[in-house]
Amino acid sequence: MTTTLSRAITTALHHALESDPSVLVMGQDVGALGGVFRVTDGLQKDFGPERVVDTPIAEAGIVGTAIGLAQRGYRPVCEIQFDGFVYPAFNQITSQLAKIHARTAGRITLPVVIRIPVSGGIGAVEHHSESNEAYFAHTAGLRVVTAATPQDAHWLLRQAIESEDPVVFFEPKCRYWSKGEVADEPDLPLDAARVVRPGTDLTLLTWGSMVETCLAAAAAAEEEGHDLEVVDLRSLSPMDVDALTAAVDRTGRAVVVHEAPTFGGLGGEVAATLAERCFDRLEAPVRRVGGFDVPYPAARLEAHYRPDLDRVLDAVDRTLAY
């Protein structure tokens, strides 16, 4: 089935609601409106307001009550309206959701999914374009996942909902309207990276909003005679380090590309992992291309802030020339 990334999420939610009566969808404006991105469009009509719940505007409340519902046997799928509005729920996510399983010596599991539209590229006002995955990946006890294609969006979300673990699920909003195939089966488990383009000269390691940019960069590099591999990490925590190592074993050179600010971003984690695990195989230092270490700028500057094809190729050239 060919569909948009946004629709692939809608159908995943629909499937989950249909197949498991304990699944709930909850968030601001997810009902009649279908969410501000229409991702939950039609779900309340099909499953009613008790299962597709319009919540008060209280992010701590959304996640906090989801934790309680999960303890009572439900599987809440929460929607946070935009990346920049998750912070009121930070305590509930990092100190509660992430830790209760360990604190109770495994007695309590919290199968809660938190969906967050993430990253920029849509010309939005402030707080609507942040790439804040590192905060969550830094917190033990959470899975952090992101999808760049309809296939991954659909199946990763279904796997996330089925998982017993709390999952923070990032949806790159600039990709919501992109189209692709969704197969009848998942082709990878929840925590596996995906080689989206094979190549021999250098590996671009990326995720979310930047996968498309890296594929475009690889296509451009091909014209200059460079054969780039592109790997979509998909699962940011836990990270598929074997897939990363295998990639560098193949190509010997890596550039990490993400939209989040570079300093303290997950690119540093990737680079350090590669330095530890395949120092001998590396032909060049692992370079990072990311957002600048400034607050996400006003919309008219976002094209400068976000890594683009040229900035990726610039890093590729330097890495190949090393």
Partner 1 sequence: METTTTYVLLGTDGRLTDDPAARDVTPELCRDLYRDMVLARRVDSEAYHLQRQGELGLWLQSLGQEAAQVGSIRAIRDSDPVFPSYRDHAAALCRGIGPEALLAQWRGVRQSGWDPAEHRFGVYTLVLGAQLLHAVGYAMGVQRDGSDDVVLAYFGDGSSSEGEANEAFNWAATVHAPVVFFCQNNQWAISTPTGRQFGAPLHRRAAGFGLATELVDGNDVLGVHAATRRAVEAVRRGGGPALIEATTYRMAGHSTSDDPTRYRTAAELDHWRARDPVDRLRALLDDRGWADGAFLADLDAEADALGAETRRACRALPDPDPTAMFDHVLPGGSPTVDRQRDAYAAYLASFEDAVEEAR
Ligand X SMILES: Cc1ncc(C[n+]2csc(CCOP(=O)(O)OP(=O)(O)O)c2C)c(N)n1
The binder of partner 1 chosen from 4, 11, 14, 29 (CB under 8 A)? 29
Separation in Å, CA 236 to CA 85, 133, 147, 291, 300: 21, 8, 11, 17, 29
Specify whether 226 is catalytic: no
List residues near ligand X by CB under 6 A.
28, 57, 59, 81, 85, 88
Catalytic pick from 15, 101, 127, 128? 128
Pick what 135 binds: partner 1, ligand X, none; C-beta below 5 to 8 Å, kind-dependent.
Answer: none
Pairing label, strands 167-172, 52-54: unpaired
C-beta of 61 vs 268, nearer to ligand X:
61
31 contacts partner 1 (rule: CB under 8 A): yes
Total chain residues near partner 1 (CB under 8 A): 38
C-beta of 247 vs 260, nearer to partner 1:
260
Residue corresponding to tokens 């919540």: 55
Give residues 255-314 in contact with partner 1 (rule: CB under 8 A): 263, 292-295, 297-301, 304-305, 310-311, 314
The binder of partner 1 chosen from 4, 36, 222, 277 (CB under 8 A)? 36
Q: What is the largest CA-CA distance in the chain?
A: 59
Residues linked to residue 287 through DSSP beta bridges, in sequence order: 255
Which residues neighbour 310 within 8 Å (Cβ) at sequence distance 6 or greater?
none
Give residues 79-108 in contact with partner 1 (rule: CB under 8 A): 84-85, 87-88
Closest by Cα among 134, 139, 111, 145 to 20: 111
Per DSSP, the residues of 185-252 read S-SS-TT--EEEE--SSEEEEE-GGGHHHHHHHHHHHHHTT--EEEEE--EEETB-HHHHHHHHHHHS
CB of 177 to partner 1, least distance (A): 14
C-beta of 85 vs 90, nearer to ligand X:
85
54 contacts partner 1 (rule: CB under 8 A): yes
Pairing label, strands 202-206, 179-181: unpaired
C-beta of 87 vs 292, nearer to ligand X:
87
The binder of partner 1 chosen from 126, 181, 187, 224 (CB under 8 A)? 126
CB of 180 to ligand X, least distance (A): 29
Which residues neighbour 175 within 8 Å (Cβ) at sequence distance 6 or greater?
5, 148, 149, 208, 209, 212
**Pair 267, 258: CB distance under 8 Å:** yes
The helix (run of H) or strand (run of E) holding residue 146 is strand 143-146
Give residues 146-185 in contact with partner 1 (rule: CB under 8 A): none
Residues recognised as catalytic: 128
Under the rule (CB under 8 A), what is the footprint of partner 1?
28-29, 31-34, 36, 54, 56-61, 84-85, 87-88, 123-127, 263, 292-295, 297-301, 304-305, 310-311, 314
